[in-house]
């Protein structure tokens, strides 16, 4: 691949890799579990037994592969990375370019329900004038943008790569951008550092500093958020510390054990979705296993940790106030929900919507709601 070429891509996992996965699942050695409270100390043994049985006997990877291959996929080399992306043309009188960025432990698969709502709104009860041409990259180091031994990329480098993709490779001089999780950091970095290229941004997670300097004289709403933040930092950030300090050590375990990988990700599906304690209330078992399988087959889990390491060993990646028009959609089971007054110190908030249902994986959990918010906010921006 030359440094500027864009080549079509289609995923074809070797049957040998699928057979190896099933063989590993058939000989799992189960961990013991404290008898008093499933999920209290991490992934539930009973849930994991059900997930592994489904993965081994009923999950159809070839169907997932075919669903992904139904969309136009490509690769192009940027800064030494063979960057994988979907590029789906909009159906309407004047589709506008939109960059969608995922996070961890996500992938482009989480956008498959959202894409048709954005690219062909008329086919889903919307207005063709709201159509977008959608570009969905796999983050460098994640799934189909990963190869063994490739350079690791921090968030600013990822943002710069995505801007190169949009402008130099695809020819979109100005575009819209949307993201959650690490994708919200990438989107915000673009707005802070490539503002002249952005027409507007939309977030379903707010990348705000987590320090007291943000709240010198906290309001009632900010005091509520500070309490939530303290609880989150105490009880919910163990994964960040190990991924951010010793990613390589953890990678050995999760690259060798599909059950370990599944437990590490499934616990986040329970903690971060609007599921009432059972992740199957928010996502189907197949939706969870589709993503987990993509991580397994690409053997990318160690590289996917890198943004955590880079974040913990560098300055906060978003500096200064962002003036690009910003829309935000808050879902009730999001990891953190800063109040609007805090967000407005950093972002030029033009639309702020609070939803009644949904969590961290908005594109998977509430694709119709997220599509509506994206279309509504971007509709009137020049």
Contact 162, 137 (CB under 8 A): yes
- Active-site option among 59, 84, 102, 360: 360
Distance, in Å, from the CA atom of 313 to the CA atom of 245, rounded to the nearest integer, reads: 9
Which residue shows structure tokens 């397994």? 296
E strand residue ranges, the chain: 6-9, 73-78, 81-88, 96-101, 132-137, 175-179, 198-203, 322-330, 347-354
Which residue shows structure tokens 């197949």? 286
What is the phi/psi pair of residue 179, to 5°? -165, 165
Q: If you compute the radius of gyration of the chain from its CA atoms, what whole number of angstroms results?
A: 20
Helices 258-272/285-298 angle, 10° precision: 130
Report which DSSP code applies to 212: G
Active-site residue 360, yes or no? yes
Distance, in Å, from the CA atom of 358 to the CA atom of 275, rounded to the nearest integer, reads: 8
Distance, in Å, from the CA atom of 115 to the CA atom of 136, rounded to the nearest integer, reads: 9
CA-angle at 348, arms to 346 and 354, nearest 5°: 95
Report which DSSP code applies to 169: I
Active-site residue 181, yes or no? yes
The half-sphere exposure of 161 on its side-chain side, counting CA atoms within 13 A, is 28
Name the token pair of 291.
């993503």
Name the token pair of 361.
């994986």
Active-site residue 309, yes or no? yes
- Active-site option among 20, 22, 82, 309: 309
Contact 181, 104 (CB under 8 A): yes
Which among 186, 212, 204, 209 has a CA at the least distance from the CA of 315? 209
**CA terminus-to-terminus distance, the chain:** 36
Strands 175-179 and 132-137, sheet pairing: unpaired
Strands 322-330 and 198-203, sheet pairing: parallel
- Active-site option among 120, 130, 163, 181: 181
Catalytic annotation, residues:
181, 309, 360
């Amino acid at each position: 691949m030359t440094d500027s070429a864009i080549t079509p891509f289609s995923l074809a996992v070797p049957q040998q890799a699928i057979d190896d996965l099933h063989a590993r699942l058939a000989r799992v050695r189960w961990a013991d579990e404290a008898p008093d409270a499933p999920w209290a100390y991490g992934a539930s043994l009973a849930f994991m037994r059900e997930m592994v049985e489904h993965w081994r006997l009923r999950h159809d990877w070839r169907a997932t592969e075919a669903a992904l291959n139904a969309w136009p996929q490509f690769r192009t080399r940027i800064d030494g990375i063979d960057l994988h992306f979907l590029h789906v043309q909009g159906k309407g009188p004047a589709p506008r370019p939109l960059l969608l960025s995922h996070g961890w432990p996500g992938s482009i698969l989480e956008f498959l329900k959202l894409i048709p709502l954005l690219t062909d709104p008329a086919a889903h009860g919307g207005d063709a004038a709201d159509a977008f041409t959608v570009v969905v990259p796999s983050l460098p180091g994640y799934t189909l943008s990963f190869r063994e031994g490739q350079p690791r990329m921090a968030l600013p480098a990822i943002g710069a790569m995505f801007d190169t993709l949009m402008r130099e490779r695809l020819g979109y001089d100005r575009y819209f951008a949307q993201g959650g999780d690490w994708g919200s950091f990438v989107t915000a970095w673009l707005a802070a550092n490539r503002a002249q290229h952005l027409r507007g941004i939309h977030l379903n997670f707010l990348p705000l500093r987590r320090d007291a300097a943000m709240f010198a004289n906290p309001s009632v709403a900010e005091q509520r958020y500070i309490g939530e933040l303290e609880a989150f930092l105490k009880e919910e950030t163990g994964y960040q510390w190990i991924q951010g300090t010793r990613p390589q050590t953890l990678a050995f375990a999760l690259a060798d054990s599909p059950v370990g990988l599944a437990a590490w990700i499934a616990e986040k599906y329970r903690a971060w979705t609007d599921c009432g304690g059972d992740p199957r209330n928010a996502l189907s078992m197949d939706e969870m296993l589709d993503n987990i399988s993509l991580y397994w087959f690409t053997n990318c889990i160690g590289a996917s940790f890198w943004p955590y390491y880079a974040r913990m060993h560098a300055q906060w990646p978003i500096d200064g106030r962002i003036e690009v028009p910003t829309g935000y959609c808050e879902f009730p089971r999001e990891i953190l929900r800063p109040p609007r007054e805090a967000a407005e110190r950093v972002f030029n908030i033009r639309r702020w919507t609070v939803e009644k249902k949904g969590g961290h994986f908005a594109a998977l959990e509430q694709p119709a709601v997220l599509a509506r918010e994206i279309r509504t906010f971007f509709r009137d921006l020049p």
